[in-house]
Structure 1
């Protein structure tokens, strides 16, 4: 049984080093593929000195494009299990063992994706959820979210690309992640496709990964300024998901508009007092919503 890790990185060389060292301590891991999305911070130089890594360098096509490339490479190399993660999570030495042990409780045709528990700043960090909601326009598509207090393996329908162990059978049946999403919702979309294809997804709390915390010392204004460029993709891709999978008009159009207003209203209110948002950003949010409901994806 061949197990391959896929790590997508962009300009986080020091975090990448820490993550690779944590992967090297996984006893049952056979191969590590690093997809370097055009880093310019010394990552390429460091990777060139690592003889035990398979490195793929490409332009910055976002997390979705990185996982598309990495999962394809692992699958083409014959991996039976593909362990995906960004460069800001660090699996503990027995993390992979717990994921594989849980997988053995299911038939290979049934089990699709296993997700670890993530710890950030000594607290459980969880986005896993147990049901998709594409019917209620005023609710989240991520229904029945886990609390983080789970102590036993729990069936889920969605998780982040921060440590999921994906079976070869999933890739064979549903293909690769949607690379045109760039960032945000590529993991949600992929898990949904696996769920709709009949695979079981499981959250495994004994499989632990530590997650780096960003922006911990920033003010509200600085944090929002740094993350603002991501809001286009967040609003657009959620609008895409709601439009593509929504079961009624309200979900396909209204839910995403409400979500966009969650950024527009605070922006208008705080604009006179902070530098977090500027008038041009309102047009960016409008464009994001418009592109999403028209399913116009790709790198902006």
Structure 2
């Protein structure tokens, strides 16, 4: 990549015990044209063959006509997706990254993705590209974050029918591209989320300082097939007990961030929490055909109340040079 707005383009990948998916993702990185400058792989204390996959990818990508450095950033304990992205962005910045493209391990990249982002990178510091699902069909994601509800609301219809960009105020760490200036202004992603809500809040924080754009460019393929239902204005995928716990638990952190920025409404947030719980119950019944997991929703909700009651909450600090 050239200098200025296109300089030092890094991928930041968070992985945990999904060596086969990671191997496919790193193989697809080798096909990127133009190529990135480097890849930071945050290994969340994996216990499978992840380390060997990264070592093999380091040799393979270093031998390309346009070599790509693969930096293995291994954590001592699993810090979740949120902690992984926080550590990965910090490492990328330390290595001189100007742009950081964030993604989980269960996707593959479209070969022309970086070039597709290029024109938008001249105008914006935060971008979300489109994704194909595991069947090769467009994956639905077009949200705006309601500060009244503390909840992302799907935007119905084709947001690209009249323009190739959509103004959002939410992020998605499955393919979000951020410039170091945006990171400097709001700080690193908050590892306290561990799992879920971290990217929504991060996009909202960035949007308070400048535009966040969802652009009509397909940049990723989802590699992991999931059970799901189509609700017309969004899809509901299957989840896990861990995901169910954190989606409710992290309501407490969302509330704290809204308070810090003077955007918290107690009545609206309570309604948003009911909507969150209702969505998860629908996911259990309609997608997973079970009521097992309700206990984890309740446990997460109880913990969210404790987090909301804390008087000593501090947001992630802006970085040096941020304003």
TM above 0.5, yes or no, is yes
1:3 to 4, 9, 12: 9
- The answer to whether structure 1 residue 234 and structure 2 residue 247 are counterparts is yes
Deviations 1:10-39, CA, capped at 9 Å, x for gaps: 111111111111112222311011000011
SS of the residue 1:29 aligns to: coil
Q: How does 1:126-141 map to 2 (within 5 A)?
A: 126-129=140-143, 131-135=144-148, 137=149, 141=151
1:90 to 90, 93, 108: 108
CA contact (8 A) 1:128 1:158 kept: no
Out of 232-241 and 246-255, give the one that drifted further: 246-255
Equivalent residue for 2:4?
none
SS of the residue 1:253 aligns to: helix
CA contact (8 A) 1:256 1:289 kept: no
- The answer to whether structure 1 residue 212 and structure 2 residue 223 are counterparts is yes
CA contact (8 A) 1:126 1:148 kept: no
Equivalent residue for 1:251?
268
- 5+ long unaligned stretches in structure 2: 1-6, 63-69, 229-236, 314-323
Q: In the superposition, relative to structure 1, how do residues 289 and 148 fare at CA in structure 2: closer, same or farther (>3 Å)? A: farther
1:159 to 168, 171, 187: 171
- The answer to whether structure 1 residue 23 and structure 2 residue 29 are counterparts is yes
Q: How does 1:1-300 map to 2 (within 5 A)?
A: 1-26=7-32, 27-49=34-56, 50-51=58-59, 52=62, 53-58=70-75, 59-104=77-122, 106=123, 111-120=124-133, 121-129=135-143, 131-135=144-148, 137=149, 141-143=151-153, 145=155, 147=157, 150=160, 152-197=164-209, 199-216=210-227, 227-242=240-255, 244-245=257-258, 246-260=263-277, 263=280, 276-277=291-292, 280-281=295-296, 283-294=298-309
- TM-score, with normalisation over the residues of structure 1? 0.81
Q: In the superposition, relative to structure 1, how do residues 173 and 227 fare at CA in structure 2: closer, same or farther (>3 Å)? A: same
Tell me how far apart the structure 2 counterparts of residues 281 and 165 of structure 1 sit (CA, whole Å). 32
Tell me how far apart the structure 2 counterparts of residues 55 and 279 of structure 1 sit (CA, whole Å). 37
SS of the residue 1:255 aligns to: helix
Tell me how far apart the structure 1 counterparts of residues 283 and 203 of structure 2 sit (CA, whole Å). 31
Tell me how far apart the structure 1 counterparts of residues 51 and 242 of structure 2 sit (CA, whole Å). 25
SS of the residue 2:214 aligns to: strand
Q: In the superposition, relative to structure 1, how do residues 252 and 280 fare at CA in structure 2: closer, same or farther (>3 Å)? A: closer
Q: Note the aligned Cα RMSD (angstroms).
A: 2.9
CA contact (8 A) 2:249 2:304 kept: yes
Tell me how far apart the structure 2 counterparts of residues 158 and 204 of structure 1 sit (CA, whole Å). 13
Shift of 1:149: 6.1
Tell me how far apart the structure 2 counterparts of residues 63 and 282 of structure 1 sit (CA, whole Å). 19
- 5+ long unaligned stretches in structure 1: 218-222
- TM-score, with normalisation over the residues of structure 2? 0.76
SS of the residue 1:124 aligns to: coil
Shift of 1:179: 0.7
Out of 167-176 and 63-72, give the one that drifted further: 167-176
Q: In the superposition, relative to structure 1, how do residues 147 and 185 fare at CA in structure 2: closer, same or farther (>3 Å)? A: farther
